[in-house]
Amino acid sequence: MHVDRRSAIRAPCDLAAEWRRRPRSLTARVRDLTCDGLFLGLPAVVPLGQIMDLVVALPTGPVELLGVSRFCGRTRMGRGIGIAIHAIAPDHRARWDAHYQVALEEMLRRMPDPVQRILRRR
């Protein structure tokens, strides 16, 4: 059985992202996010601890962040990279957190009331 050690609930999403790496950038999709990280759907293999320069296209505008790879492999969402946010500018952090709250509320609204109550206590 898998134990989820995240401090925040993952909220599903579908956001365009760019991984800026030299000599070229890669495009990908963010498949879920938390206040502390994201899952980037991408078939690339990276070592754990890899610093990643990302731009995520939120509806309110692009957010630039530096992330650290924490997982690389196959999940139920497909192949990709789990990334912890390492550095983000304060104004980008505010927009990231606001988008996460909207995505989380949208997810919770679709769940039965008892499940909502349990998850809202986390």
- How many Cβ atoms from other residues are within 10 Å of residue 93's Cβ? 15
- Model confidence at 121: pLDDT above 80: no
| % of the chain beyond a pLDDT of 90 | 70
pLDDT tier for residue 6 given thresholds of 50, 70 and 90: low
Longest Cα–Cα distance in the chain: 50
Of residues 46 and 3, the one with the higher pLDDT is: 46
Beta-carbon-side half-sphere exposure of residue 83 (alpha carbons within 13 Å)? 30
Which CATH number characterizes residue 105's domain? 2.40.10.220
Domain contains 30: yes
DSSP string of 82-122, one letter each residue: EEEEEEE-HHHHHHHHHHHHHHHHHHHHTS-HHHHHHHHT-
Q: What is the pLDDT of residue 5?
A: 59
User: Model-level pTM?
Assistant: 0.87
- Model confidence at 45: pLDDT above 80: yes
Mean pLDDT for 5-15 is 84
Domain contains 3: no
Mean pLDDT for 2-9 is 63
Mean pLDDT for 73-91 is 94
What is the span of the domain harbouring residue 94?
A: 11-120
SS3 percent helix, strand, coil of the chain, rounded to 5, is 25, 45, 30
Strands 26-33 and 61-75: unpaired
Structural domain count of the chain? 1
Rounded to whole angstroms, the Cα distance separating 58 from 16 reads 8
Domain contains 54: yes
Q: What is the pLDDT of residue 109?
A: 86
Domain contains 100: yes
